[in-house]
Chains A and B, each alone.
Chain A
């Protein structure tokens, strides 16, 4: 039992803003005062300190074939030693981290949940093995659907029942959490050396278009009532002028409605918010996208903020990765995966004095500032935009125009012309930023017990050495940044795992997966699956992941 005393609480889900109050924890949950015996409690004095829910990262590449190929390809990333073996595991990594380092670094920062943003269903056992090796945090993985032949076939047939059954089956088999869509149709086109350029291009070999893939998957997702919405990485990622494709894709959500959450989440939008027709007249389309998202009540986005320094591009968007390889002359890994999907990995770096990189950096911030705080979550699309360990930098930047002015002086001045960032006066409040890093991502993912401190919530709590009542967020940004970098206390499931940025206890979190099988008749699709398995290189019976193989699975049943 835990009694967190006198903290200054910000808990946007429960509309608590800067209230001095006590939090009580029992059996890993937040409970009312009446349920605990104060004498038996371990007491944490949080006087003058900020108490919030543990951070929720809704989109990061933390486990599976992509990040592991990145590690193999980039031993230079592993030269940064973060922890020497002893009571805790050795942990290393600059931006790409080892599995233990991922868990430790999230925990040190007060984050307690992270979602792997893309796993090919056929490789999900690998993804889960890595997730199981990440200590400290709760996690889950999103299987990819946007280039899978079986998905195309259901859509070609215009058979929603089949598509729903396939989605429910595949999420169960991969022990996944929701429906990720990466460059719909484009990765299949890459198998022929191509890509798709707009929503109405036909996918080679199939009578479907990206527009249909997105729309049908939203429909299937909504009829199944999955906790999370379709999670879309748009077409034309990384291409100047792509903001228009993003706008068209966002509009596909019109006509769908869900009481609890968005029906479409568009991810790492920074990479899809470019205006212009080439890298010469490249600029920001962030304002237009933010305006559209603000005008709709069923779409959310996350930033995909670049951080200056090293990064590694890794996505299921294989044709984009090849383009990046050609553009940068950098190393390139590619993985065409059965008849399901593909992937690519390319090292990159963001340089402040490079006009393109400076504009990308500004676009991420524009999205964060111009989009309503209830619709934009904070991410770097780790490790594509850079490390998740710099989330505090983004938080501080969103809250301080003065900090942005200082940073703007250090970057290529092309941003003055190509983006609106210099003229944006918005300063997000602490309440908003806590929402963007806790309660909002939890709501977007459909995690009811995460991202807040209400009764019944998981006791994942971060306490920062920052008195928000006495802090000037506009001018005191350095202090704010430092305070969020290192949690004074990180509490996971009711246990103190970090104290003053030092690891205290190693714990292993749960892996959430969604079971929607009761919502469908699997038989409507199984014959098609069986027939199509002749094109796989393994047996259907050996496809998928059993719950008992996982360390701490937690099934969320959709009924």
Chain B
């Protein structure tokens, strides 16, 4: 099959070739290929480690959820929009909390958007127009291996025809794999992103005098050189990663970067965009935004949605022991959350829906295996730049889809709640 859509990272490459006999995929990177290779799966639905039918597992899960005072529904970045939508409605009906992976990842970018908006563009704009690309605290060569070739580094576009016509700059705290192939690498001291964005803004707005001889480990001359490149770009793009959102300053870093882009647009064209991780983490925020008004950290205990990241993001809820059951879909919080949060997950009944076993499986009371989107199930996902792509079903499976499992749960919950 041609033009398979990859369901690994936020690049969501859509040009894979699937060999049905070999059960393998061509063209994708190592990360993508591994997703499409055969892997260990959760064999069957389980309650307390005992195999049961889907119906039994769902009945028990619903019993736990409707009897909980405030269930946490978390994950969602690696499933399709159809399932996410049902998850949001389920959280609403249950009076629970909806949160998704961005809250420990790119959510500071959402907070910055609330402050300043986000002057962005699609990856096709970068590919065709960007003569300067700055990877700031992001490392696509390792995290999004085909990003550079398809969209941002060596991509052949309309106005920027090849790698030679594009200046690639990496700003990072260490020489990454991407830094090695960049035209310019600027190594900064950890935690100084904010100061450097400020210095660039000062230089570009004609206030270079105010900038000290060195900022965040970077010499002023070097900053002036970078500012010049930025000003002289015809169309530039800052593609930022977790180095910006998860270091000192967080949302304030992104906000400052956006202000830099606002300033640059007064004389030329620049855009800024996050390098999102999971293949549908964008959908995990967009779907609740249209259903209930917010992207993440949403509490429904009052019957209407409330957004408060410091209270209702999953880690905070768990740290406060403020949920008494959890539904984890397509995610592995036990592997990624702080220990104090995981401790509470061990205390409460956890229901997991996932195609693959992971650390969270070990603490889950109920485990419901599901089909893999893009291989065994069809659905919609949003690439990191919000471009929607339809995930394909390539092979048959007996596993239920996340959508079907959640649909059944919702149906039963509606019956209970009347």
The chain A residues found within 8 Å of chain B, CB to CB, are 63, 65, 67-69, 71-75, 77-78, 81, 83-86, 89-90, 92-93, 98-100, 122-123, 125-126, 129-130, 133, 149, 190-193, 205, 322, 325-326, 331-339, 342, 345-346, 534-539, 541-542, 546, 549
Known: A125-B388, A326-B266. Is A339-B292 also a contact (CB below 8 A)?
Answer: no
Cβ distance A25 to chain B, nearest Cβ, rounded Å: 29
In the complex, which of the residues A123, A129, A537 contacts B123, with contact meaning CB atoms closer than 8 Å?
A537
A101 (CB) vs chain B CBs: closest residue: B293
The answer, yes or no, to whether B173 is at the interface (CB within 8 Å) is no
Known: A71-B289, A335-B386. 15 other contacts (CB 8 A): A68-B290, A69-B113, A73-B117, A89-B291, A90-B92, A192-B235, A322-B265, A332-B117, A334-B121, A334-B271, A535-B157, A537-B151, A538-B124, A539-B3, A541-B3
Most B CB atoms within 10 A — which of A123, A333, A335? A335
- Docked-complex contact A85 and B92, CB < 8 angstroms: yes
What chain B residues lie within 8 Å of A346 (beta carbons)? Answer: 117
B60 interface contact, C-beta 8 A: no
Instruction: Verify A334–B120 contact, CB threshold 8 A.
Output: yes
A124 nearest in chain B by CB position: B388
With a CB–CB cut-off of 8 A, which chain B residues contact A122? 122, 124, 387
- Specify which chain B residues have a CB less than 8 angstroms from the CB of A190 in the assembled complex: 269
Task: Please name the 7 residue pairs, one residue from A and one from B, whose CB atoms are nearest each other, closest first.
Answer: A336-B121, A78-B293, A338-B124, A331-B117, A125-B388, A537-B124, A84-B303
Task: Tell me the nearest residue of chain B to A93, going by C-beta.
Answer: B293
Pairwise interchain contact B304-A85, C-beta atoms closer than 8 A: yes
Q: Chain A nearest CB: distance from B71 CB in Å?
A: 14
CB B298 to nearest CB in A, in angstroms, measures 10
Known: A68-B286, A129-B81, A538-B387. A339 touches B118 (CB 8 A): no
Query: Is B115 an interface position by the 8 A CB rule?
Result: yes
Q: How far is the CA of A345 from the CA of B120 in the complex (A)?
A: 11
- Chain B residues near A72: list those with CB within 8 A: 110, 113-114, 285, 289, 294-295
- A126 and B286 contact, Cβ closer than 8 Å, known pairs A78-B305, A549-B380: yes
The closest CB in chain A to the CB of B262 belongs to A332
Which residue numbers of B lie inside 8 Å of A, CB to CB? 2-3, 5, 14-15, 81, 85, 89, 92-93, 95, 110, 113-125, 127-129, 150-151, 155-159, 234-235, 262, 265-269, 271, 285-287, 289-295, 300, 302-305, 307, 380, 382, 386-390
A463 to chain B, nearest CB (A): 29
Bound CA–CA A130/B271 (angstroms): 26
Known A-B contacts A331-B116, A334-B120, A537-B124; A542 and B390 likewise in contact (beta carbons under 8 Å): yes
CA distance A338 to B15 in the complex (A): 17
- The answer to whether A125 touches B293 (Cβ under 8 A) is no
Tell me whether B265 and A534 are in contact (CB under 8 A). no
**B389 x A99 contact (CB < 8 A):** no
Given contacts A72-B285, A90-B292, contact A125 B117 (CB under 8 A): no
**B291 with A98: CB separation less than 8 A:** yes
Cα–Cα, bound, A205→B295 (Å):
38
**A537 contacts B122, C-beta separation under 8 Å:** yes
* Residues in B whose Cβ lies below 8 Å from that of A338: 122, 124-125, 128, 387
Chain B residues within an 8 Å CB radius of A81? 304
Question: Which residues on A sit within 8 Å (CB–CB) of B2?
Answer: 541
Contact B305 A90 (CB under 8 A): yes
Give Cα distance in the complex from A136 to B175, angstroms. Answer: 55
Select B116's contact among A86, A332, A337, beta carbons within 8 Å: A332
Task: Name 30 A/B residue pairs within 8 A (Cβ), A-sorted.
Answer: A68-B289, A69-B118, A72-B110, A72-B285, A72-B294, A73-B118, A85-B304, A89-B291, A92-B292, A93-B293, A125-B390, A126-B386, A129-B287, A129-B290, A130-B290, A205-B159, A332-B119, A334-B271, A335-B122, A336-B129, A338-B125, A537-B150, A537-B155, A537-B387, A538-B124, A538-B387, A539-B15, A542-B389, A542-B390, A549-B380
Residues on B with C-beta less than 8 A from A192 are 234-235, 269
CB-CB under 8 A from A65, the residues of chain B are 386
Instruction: Let me know if A339 and B304 touch, CB within 8 A.
Output: no
Contacts of B81 in A (CB 8 A): 129
Contact A193 B117 (CB under 8 A): no
Task: Say whether A123 contacts B386, CB under 8 Å.
Answer: yes
With the chains together, A75 CA to B158 CA distance in Å? 37
Partner pick for B121 among A326, A335, A542, CB 8 A cutoff: A335
Pair A126/B121 contact, Cβ less than 8 Å: no
The majority secondary structure among interface residues of chain B is mixed
| CB-defined contacts of A75 to chain B, threshold 8 Å | 114, 293-294, 307
User: Who on chain A is nearest to B118 by CB?
Assistant: A333
Q: B123 → chain A, closest Cβ, in Å?
A: 5
User: A residues within 8 A CB of B291?
Assistant: 89, 98-100, 133
Which one, B271, B300, B390, contacts A336 given CB within 8 A? B271
Chain A residues whose CB sits within 8 angstroms of the CB of B380 once the complex forms: 125, 129, 549
The distance in angstroms between the C-alpha atoms of A497 and B303, with both chains bound, is: 22
The reply to whether A538 and B386 form a contact with Cβ atoms under 8 Å apart is: no
Chain B residues whose CB sits within 8 angstroms of the CB of A345 once the complex forms: 117
When the two chains form their complex, are residues B387 and A89 in contact, meaning their CB atoms are under 8 A apart?
Answer: no
Q: How many angstroms from the CA of A541 to the CA of B293 in the assembled complex? A: 33
Give the docked Cα–Cα distance between A537 and B123 (Å). 7
In chain A, what residue has the closest Cβ to B14? A542
**B-chain residues with CB within 8 Å of residue A100 when the two chains form the complex:** 291
Q: How far is it, in angstroms, between the C-alpha of A548 and the C-alpha of B307 when the chains are bound? A: 34
In the assembled complex, the Cα of A466 lies from the Cα of B235 at a distance in Å of: 58
Question: By the criterion CB–CB under 8 Å, are B128 and A71 in contact?
Answer: no
Closest to B381 in A: A125
A536 to chain B minimum Cβ distance, whole angstroms, is 6
- Taking the closest CB of chain A, its distance from the CB of B40, in whole angstroms, is 30
**Residue contact A89 to B124, C-beta cutoff 8 Å:** no
Min CB gap B99→A, angstroms: 15
Minimum C-beta distance from A454 to chain B (A) = 35
CB distance from B230 to the nearest CB of A (A): 14
Q: Tell me which residues across on chain A come within 8 A of B390, comparing CB atoms.
A: 125, 542, 546, 549
Across the interface, do B387 and A90 meet the contact criterion of CB distance under 8 Å? Answer: no
Q: List, in ascending order, chain A residues with CB within 8 A of B304's CB.
A: 81, 83-85, 90, 92
- From A63, A78, A81, A342, name the one whose CB has the most chain B CB atoms within 10 angstroms: A78
Q: B232 → chain A, closest Cβ, in Å? A: 13
Please determine whether B120 and A335 come into contact, CB atoms closer than 8 angstroms. Answer: yes
A residues within 8 A CB of B386?
A: 65, 123, 126, 335
Q: How far is the CA of A123 from the CA of B125 in the complex (A)?
A: 14
Instruction: Report the separation of the CA atoms of residues A191 and B157 in the bound assembly, to the nearest whole angstrom.
Output: 14
Shortest CB distance B278–A (Å): 18
Residues of A within 8 A of B14 (CB): 538-539, 542
User: Given A68-B286, A100-B291, A123-B387, does the pair A73, B128 have CB atoms closer than 8 Å?
Assistant: no
A72–B386 Cα distance when bound, in Å, is 13
B113 & A73 in contact (Cβ 8 Å cutoff): yes
Given the known inter-chain contacts A534-B156, A536-B124, please indicate yes or no for A78 contacting B85, CB distance below 8 A: no
A340 to chain B, nearest CB (A): 8
Chain A minimum-CB-distance residue to B307: A75
Q: How far is the CB of B283 from chain A (nearest CB, A)?
A: 9
Q: Chain B contacts of A322 at CB under 8 A?
A: 265
A334 cross-chain contacts in B, Cβ below 8 A: 117-121, 271
Closest to B115 in A: A331
A77–B267 alpha-carbon span in the complex (Å): 32
A351 to B291: give the CA distance in the assembly, Å.
Answer: 30
Specify the chain A residue showing the minimal Cβ separation from B15. A539
Q: Is the CB of B3 within 8 A of A542?
A: yes
The answer to whether A89 and B294 have CB atoms under 8 Å apart is no
- State whether B292 touches A193 (Cβ < 8 A): no
Q: A131 to nearest B CB, angstroms?
A: 10
Chain B nearest CB: distance from A79 CB in Å?
Answer: 9
Instruction: Return the contact of B125 from the options A63, A129, A337 (Cβ within 8 A).
Output: A337
On chain A, the residues within 8 Å of B234 by CB distance are 192
What is the CA–CA distance of A129 and B83 in the complex, to the nearest angstrom?
A: 12
User: What separation, in Å, do the CA atoms of A41 and B187 have in the docked complex?
Assistant: 78
User: Separation in Å of the A186 CB from the closest CB of chain B?
Assistant: 14
Of the listed residues A84, A122, A538, the one surrounded by the most CB atoms of chain B closer than 10 A to its CB is A538
Q: Which single residue of chain A is at the shortest CB-CB distance from B303?
A: A84
Q: Complex formed: what's the CA distance from A93 to B93 in Å?
A: 19
